[in-house]
Homo-oligomer: A and B are copies of this chain.
Amino acid sequence: MTKRIGILTGGGDAPGLNAVIRAVALTAIRRYGWEVVGIREGFDGLYAGLPTIPLTEERVRDLLARGGTILGAANRGNPFALRVEHDDGSIEVADVSHEALTRIEALGLDGLIVAGGDGTMSIAHKLVLMGAKIVGVPKTIDNDLNETDVTFGFDTAIRTATEALDKLQTTAESHHRVMVLEVMGRHAGWIALTSGVSGGADAILIPEIPFDIEVVCQKIRDLQASGRHYSLVVVAEGAAPVGGEQLYYIEGKNGSEGRLGGIGHQVGNMLSQCVDAEVRVTVLGHVQRGGQPTARDRWLASRFGAAGVHYVAQEKWGYMVALQGTQMVSVPMDTVINLKFVDPKGDMVQMALDMGIVFG
């Protein structure tokens, strides 16, 4: 019997999302002969009953290399706790999960693939408990999802951050400057750590390791004393000094998301006090989550999308696709809700320390 399945992307966009959408559509159509519809704007598309997008071969043909998501990511948030603003300005928190379930049924979906991060998986898990037929595909450029070795979008973010370090290096060297680069990573320091090592940073400040600015200052002074008159410092958005608080969060317009940082500039100011060199700060911002996905992210996203369709065929409701080693495996959605952090005592941090990089 011909099935009809849906795909929905929750949370922010990530390079590779369109490649997931394409792989889901092509695999469902060609392998299984199913029909595929796209749900717009995350869970909003369900409870608010937005029109769907038919995902034909023709429609998805050119999506492989395209950044963003054609399904949109301008969602208002959690259907179990939706902030509704009334005309009088009062705010109500409503549970519209039943509307979401009703909509899945009304659309006649025999399965729904949800691509998203920890928040999205948490919502999807609850919907599964209420009877929804959902499988998950992991998505976060921060690479902080548990149970999967890596997520698509991360490699593209790393490329962008590393290219920025390459560029800052040449001008830092010419001007004898200290360059501070603030990269994404509110909870986990994967982007900072990986791009920092790949881009030749001298100090990497991540949320998992509260930093002592004096350690960074000393490192810069040591480099100067050794004749290297410039330094590169990578700071994750969520990094914080020992005993300090994370600075990154400023309430977003609709409560669903915070704004970018401030820690980069704070670190820059601290360093200006303690080292005899000009300090410049660059906040990389949203360019990290945009643009064409790398070859690797397209490959990973394609594998995730294809596997998601197989899980629908196998009716593995409540499971999420994950990459472990070189294999696609299925893991229960609720196991990914806890984030994956950089281990301060682990071999990756140790490798960086051994090469002379400080973590503050």
Contacts A198-B296, A253-B278; is A170 near B13 (CB within 8 Å)? yes
Which interface residue of A160, A164, A228 has the most chain B CB atoms within 10 A?
Answer: A164
Copies of this chain in the oligomer: 4
Jot down 8 A-B pairs with beta carbons below 8 A, ordered by A. A26-B354, A26-B355, A27-B354, A30-B354, A31-B354, A72-B176, A303-B348, A303-B351
Contacts of A295 in B (CB 8 A): 155, 158-159, 161-163, 194-195, 198-199
The number of chain A residues touching the other chain, given as a range, is 35 or more
Asked whether any CB of chain B lies closer than 8 Å to the CB of A166, the reply is yes
Asked whether any CB of chain B lies closer than 8 Å to the CB of A61, the reply is yes
Asked whether any CB of chain B lies closer than 8 Å to the CB of A291, the reply is yes
How many Å lie between the Cα of A160 and that of B168 in the bound state? Answer: 12
Is A283 a contact partner of B286 (Cβ separation < 8 A)? no
Contacts of A26 in B (CB 8 A): 354-356
Q: Measured between C-beta atoms, what is the minimum distance from A295 to chain B in Å? A: 4
Is A73 a contact partner of B174 (Cβ separation < 8 A)? yes
Contacts A27-B354, A69-B174; is A158 near B285 (CB within 8 Å)? no
Which 5 pairs between the two chains have the least Cβ-Cβ distance? A67-B170, A167-B290, A68-B170, A167-B291, A162-B295
Contacts of A164 in B (CB 8 A): 287
Contacts of A288 in B (CB 8 A): 167
Is A286 a contact partner of B294 (Cβ separation < 8 A)? no
Q: Measured between C-beta atoms, what is the minimum distance from A184 to chain B in Å? A: 12
Which of B229, B253, B259 touches A74 (beta carbons < 8 Å)? B229
How many Å lie between the Cα of A168 and that of B289 in the bound state? Answer: 8
Asked whether any CB of chain B lies closer than 8 Å to the CB of A252, the reply is yes
Chain A residues with a Cβ under 8 A of chain B: 12-13, 15, 17, 23, 26-27, 30-31, 57, 61, 64-69, 72-74, 149-150, 155, 158-164, 166-177, 179, 194-195, 197-200, 226, 228-229, 252-254, 259-260, 272, 278, 280-292, 294-296, 298-299, 302-303, 306-307, 309, 324-328, 347-348, 351, 354-356
Contacts of A228 in B (CB 8 A): 61
How many Å lie between the Cα of A155 and that of B299 in the bound state? Answer: 11
Q: Measured between C-beta atoms, what is the minimum distance from A69 to chain B in Å? A: 5
Contacts of A57 in B (CB 8 A): 226
Contacts A23-B355, A67-B167, A197-B302; is A74 near B149 (CB within 8 Å)? no
Q: Measured between C-beta atoms, what is the minimum distance from A273 to chain B in Å? A: 11
Is B278 a contact partner of A252 (Cβ separation < 8 A)? yes
Contacts of A356 in B (CB 8 A): 26, 30
Is B67 a contact partner of A198 (Cβ separation < 8 A)? no
Which of B169, B294, B327 touches A159 (beta carbons < 8 Å)? B294
How many Å lie between the Cα of A286 and that of B166 in the bound state? Answer: 11
Which of B150, B290, B309 touches A170 (beta carbons < 8 Å)? B290
- Besides A158-B299, A198-B302, A307-B351, 6 other A-B contacts (C-beta < 8 A): A23-B351, A57-B226, A68-B174, A159-B294, A171-B286, A325-B325
Contacts of A158 in B (CB 8 A): 295-296, 299
Which interface residue of A286, A292, A298 has the most chain B CB atoms within 10 A?
Answer: A286
Contacts of A226 in B (CB 8 A): 57
How many Å lie between the Cα of A220 and that of B43 in the bound state? Answer: 26
How many Å lie between the Cα of A167 and that of B286 in the bound state? Answer: 8
